[in-house]
A and B are shown apart, each in its own frame.
Chain A
Amino acid sequence: MCSAASSQQRIVIVGGGTAGWLTANHLARALDEKFAASTAKPYSITLIESPNIPTVGVGEGTVPSIRDSLHYFGISESELIKRCSATFKQSIDFIGWQPPQSDGAQHVYQHIFDYPQIESEEALCDWINHGFKAANFADTFSVQSHLVQAGLAPKKFIQAEFHGVCNYAYHFDAAKFSELLAENATQRLGVDYQQLEIAKGVKNNAGGIAYLLTENGQRIEAELFIDCSGGRSLLLGQCLETEFISKADEIFTDTAIATQVAYSSIKKTIACATLATAHRAGWIWDIGLVERRGVGIVYSSQHMTEADARETLAHYIGLEDQNNLLTEPRKIPMRSGHYAQFWRNNCVAIGMSQGFVEPLEATGLLMFDKTAQLLAQMLSEADSTSLTLSLSSGQLQRRFNQQLCSVWEGVFDFIKLHYCLSQRDDSDFWRAHRDMNTWSPQLIQMLTKWHTQLPSQIDLRPGVFNLANHLYVLLGMDVRPLLNTNVDNSDGQLSGQQRSIMQAHLASLNKVLMPHRELIEKVHEYGLQRI
């Protein structure tokens, strides 16, 4: 099928959730750059969204790489903060993921965004053998965990947009975020938007998609179809019948119930971390925005009834705040796993249409952002001046599928890591997670090695979670390698020094950082400078 050189390559995105609009922005930006010199754009990008099917409407936690994407799209940080009720996120605080301590206190650890500042491997070994008694891993090797505990923002007001003294991401209102992305794509980057409901995709002989059929019988043709239709996976799953690789036997949580809670007073402090509190059969998220919190329970329906889950959520929210619910708690089914391929023929799936893992590490946006970026990069790097070649390149497709598969596998192992290290014994849910039959071979291999050795980057698949992320979880869960202590004679001295360095750094930051809500209010009033 050889289209005339003059005809435009049509890219059609189905779905206007976060995934659809992130994809639209990435592609429009990258192709705009690639074809900046040409007089006529050799491509068009259209996003189609059903006026009747709502977006999933959750997804309020992000990871730091979102800052790069926003900056790249040309969206200003002040705009994001003002329009999306956004707040700063510096950590996920894990509460109760191990049994309570002997004094009854909750077990708590923090997965912060700053890399640990480990001065030397000796210092880390010293902490593992001795220093852990004095202070936990994050508190010893970072200042950020202290900042979060003190409720301080990660940046100075006079720092430029997207810059901070610590690494950070955002919490925001998912619906408002989609709106902002949509406005940017359509008004600044030339993406077309159409409200149409697609009845189905129709296959061609080559195993790709010939056209989309709308509810009112209209045909939509394109050279590239991007499926951002959410969990229903309209094109990759339903039309092309791609194999789905379920991870339900590794990750048992399969249902969420989400709600929103208004602050009891407008002066309430805003947490600078996502709070992730474990319960009998899963966990509860708690995300602080400016006027409200997003709260939801994630659970395994095999191990907990819906009534129990609702009860557990209500108990967490507390009697007082029950009156401040802004939305009825809404049940959302979740299906863990991913498709065997993500790009087949002329169809690429991005978003929940390509796979899903429960939201423990805010992997959703991260994955879709990365995928959209990868696709944009591949399309704009290919040296052909028309897109026709790159769109049909089997080699690009293979690379894309291999890379993403590896990323997804790494993500599932990383989520599983949070559960399988727990010694909680209050339900079959936690006991089943400890059963090694529910671990992937790669995870078994890593954990076996880490039993006696320090983790290192080469143990991990190339992916989105790196060594630092694994260290925070592993050591945060009090799983410390049994290191050969013969060579060790520092008796906690090195980690003591490490703590003093952090204390000194912290003292200087205490002087220049302000409380989280205060900074957010200042940004609302004055905005941040771009430089």
Chain B
Amino acid sequence: MAHALHTLNENEHKDYKVSLDRQFNHAAEQHLIPIMTDEIFDAALEFPLVVVKNSETGAFTLCAIQGLKPETNLYCGREQYDAIYVPRALRLYPFALRENAQTQQLEICIIDDPARVGVESGEALFDAEGNKSQFLEQQIKLLKSHTEMAGQTMQLMNLLEHYELLHAQAINIKTGSEEISFDGIYVINQQKLNTLAPDVLVKLRDNGALALIYAIQQSLKQINRLIVRTHG
């Protein structure tokens, strides 16, 4: 991730092309992948979903575990991405949104990763007239929904915190001779969930949070898939 971020500009990036990478090699050394609320039901069927703190701001963030150790990923950077659901955060790459410090407007940026971005081959960003290509339009749509959902996800995290529905849990896994322990992870506090006041339960049901909370809680079972993959 040491690649520079550039604001996309039809003059400067007129000839740029982005090659597709269905192995998502850029995330090969990332074991936690951010997940947004609208992805929870899909992601929960394949990956354990946990809450961690953003190391920069301390804010709670929802993530899918894709590797049992830091700097490993059991899906990305492998021969084949072996799951049905691909988190949107993986699909966005090499694009990102960034707030312009002066105008406070969100700007579309491209990550200068030579493995994916160049002038030789791949999907063109602009056509001969300098209009955005269909590919780029699609990516922009993806970025926009991601940003929208980021707000919703933060609200969900705030709810979890407000009703004290999170608690820290170290996850200890024995795989063969190796013992792996994860800390800094927060999961749903089942006991608190079971003793929520009726009016709070109704509120969480009506705003859709309750189903998401149960899905996050259930997803922990997917840890077994990762264990199996470590051995495989």
Contact = CB atoms under 8 A, between A and B. Distances in A.
A160 B184 CA distance: 10
Contact of A531 (B55, B57, B59, B167): B167
A530 B53 CA distance: 12
B57 A529 contact: no
B186 interface: yes
Interface in B86-144: none
Contacts of A160: 168
Interface string A224-247: 000000000000000000000000
Given A529-B60, A531-B186, A157 B167 contact: no
Contacts of B184: 158
B58 A158 contact: yes
What is the size category of the interface that chain A forms with chain B?
10 to 19
Nearest to A528: B58
Nearest to A512: B55
Contacts of B167: 531
Interface string B32-67: 000000000000000000000101011110000000
Given A529-B60, A531-B186, A158 B55 contact: yes
A81 to B, nearest CB: 13
A206 to B, nearest CB: 48
B58 A531 contact: no
A473 to B, nearest CB: 35
Contacts of B168: 160, 531
A438 B58 CA distance: 53
Of the four ranges (under 10, 10 to 19, 20 to 34, 35 or more), the interface on chain B belongs to 10 to 19
A157 B58 CA distance: 7
Interface in B150-166: 161, 164, 166
Contacts of A463: none
Interface in A496-531: 522, 526-531
For the complex, would chain A's binding face be called helix, strand, loop or mixed by DSSP majority?
loop
Contacts of B161: 529-531
A157 B53 CA distance: 10
Interface in A103-152: none
A160 B58 CA distance: 10
Contacts of B53: 158, 529
Contacts of A530: 161
B58 A526 contact: yes
B172 to A, nearest CB: 19
Contacts of B164: 531
B56 to A, nearest CB: 8
> Most chain-B CB neighbours within 10 Å: which of A522, A526, A527, A529?
A529
B211 to A, nearest CB: 23
Contacts of A522: 58
A526 B60 CA distance: 12
A92 B143 CA distance: 52
Nearest to A525: B57
A211 to B, nearest CB: 45
Nearest to A529: B58
Interface string A184-228: 000000000000000000000000000000000000000000000
B186 A526 contact: no
A7 to B, nearest CB: 34
Nearest to B55: A158
B158 to A, nearest CB: 12
A528 B60 CA distance: 11
A198 to B, nearest CB: 43
A528 B54 CA distance: 11
B60 A157 contact: no
Contacts of A157: 55, 58
A526 B161 CA distance: 16
A526 B59 contact: yes
B186 A527 contact: no
Contacts of A158: 53, 55, 58, 184
A418 B55 CA distance: 42
Contacts of A526: 57-59
Nearest to B58: A526
Contacts of A527: 58
A158 B60 CA distance: 10
Contacts of A528: 58
Nearest to B57: A526
Contacts of B58: 157-158, 522, 526-529
Contacts of B55: 157-158
Interface in B187-221: none
Contacts of B166: 531
A528 B166 CA distance: 15
Interface string A145-183: 000000000000110100000000000000000000000
Contacts of B186: 531
A526 B55 CA distance: 11
B109 to A, nearest CB: 24
Nearest to A523: B58
A531 B186 CA distance: 9
B128 to A, nearest CB: 47
Contacts of B60: 529
Nearest to A158: B53
Nearest to A163: B168
B11 to A, nearest CB: 36
A15 to B, nearest CB: 36
Nearest to B189: A531
Nearest to A157: B58
Given A158-B58, A529-B60, A529-B161, 12 more contacts: A157-B58, A158-B53, A158-B184, A522-B58, A526-B57, A528-B58, A529-B53, A530-B161, A531-B161, A531-B164, A531-B166, A531-B168
Q: Closest 4 A-B residue pairs measured CB to CB?
A: A158-B53, A526-B57, A526-B58, A529-B58
18 contacts: A157-B58, A158-B53, A158-B55, A158-B58, A158-B184, A522-B58, A526-B57, A526-B58, A526-B59, A527-B58, A528-B58, A529-B60, A531-B161, A531-B164, A531-B166, A531-B167, A531-B168, A531-B186
